[in-house]
Amino acid sequence: MQNIAIFGAYSAIAEATARQLAGSGERFFLVGRDRGKLDQVAADLQVRGAQEVHVFACDLAVPAEVLASIDALYGALGTVDVVLLAHGTLPDQKVCEADAGQTVAALEINALSHISLLTLLAARFEQQGNGTIVVITSVAGDRGRKSNYVYGTAKRALSTFLDGLRHRLAATQVRVIDIRPGFVDTPMTADFKKGALWAAPDKVGADIVRAIEKGRPIVYTPWFWRYIMLIIRNVPAFVFHKTNL
């Protein structure tokens, strides 16, 4: 039995992951803005074998509510074995280019809210000396590209923070896992044309569960994105700037 906390619990990837983690009497704590959606996820997990499911509705872009969510989490579960951060938005790059306020808002929800949570959680995990912290970032953070560099900036900042956190906690049994999905077919990407490189949330969820089991620090999902991004990172600038990536 494990105590599992999920922030952004009704995102497609989070739901897929939670379904695959349930079944052995786990205790869950689910966080998100929409109480109705949280209740739906909670009911599904209980049917799948979760022992307990607690829900907490809040806005993770508001620092006071972030703090309240941590207090509520530990008040409900006592200790946490696994925490998954899966909340965020996919900003419109063109809108951000024309509106600094939208750019700042995108960075706040996709990077700063995570960093705030991680700062609070890391202190708790460091004190208990073990556990697993899992954060969904993105391959978009591997190299800035004109199609999504605002989103990519947030994810790059988050990955760098996770690198430092992993280094800080290296002397403990706390594992810090950076999950870097490529294209995933979710409601957030409903308007995008899909192709062979797109993955289903269940596939990404399975890779997250496997990463938790094996403790791998950085996981590209599906696996082939590791090699795609290796190529993209190493394309010379004079060639890269001629692309429409």
- pLDDT tens for residues 140-170? 999 999 999 999 999 999 999 999 999 999 9
Give the three-class secondary structure for 66. Answer: helix
pLDDT of res. 194 = 86
The Cα–Cα gap between 52 and 75 comes to: 14
Residue 207 clears pLDDT 90, i.e. is over it: yes
Strands 173-181 and 218-221: parallel
Residue 52, pLDDT score: 96
Q: With contact defined as beta carbons under 8 Å apart, do 92 and 85 qualify? A: no
Closest CA to 108 of 97, 121, 117, 120: 117
**Residues in the chain, total:** 245
Catalytically annotated residues: 151
What integer pLDDT is reported at residue 230 of this predicted model?
Answer: 98
Q: Check: CB of residue 28 under 8 Å from CB of residue 2.
A: no
Instruction: Give phi and psi for 223, each to the nearest 5.
Output: -55, -35
Q: Name the maximum alpha-carbon separation found in the chain.
A: 56
Domains contained in the chain, CATH given: 3-240 (3.40.50.720)
Task: State yes or no: pLDDT of 188 exceeds 90.
Answer: no
Backbone φ and ψ of 4, nearest 5°: -125, 130
pLDDT single digits (tens) 3-45 = 999 999 999 999 999 999 998 889 999 999 999 999 999 999 9
Pick from 235, 233, 135, 220: nearest CA to 175? 135
In angstroms, how far is CA 25 from the centroid of its own chain?
A: 23
Q: Is the pLDDT of residue 114 over 90?
A: yes
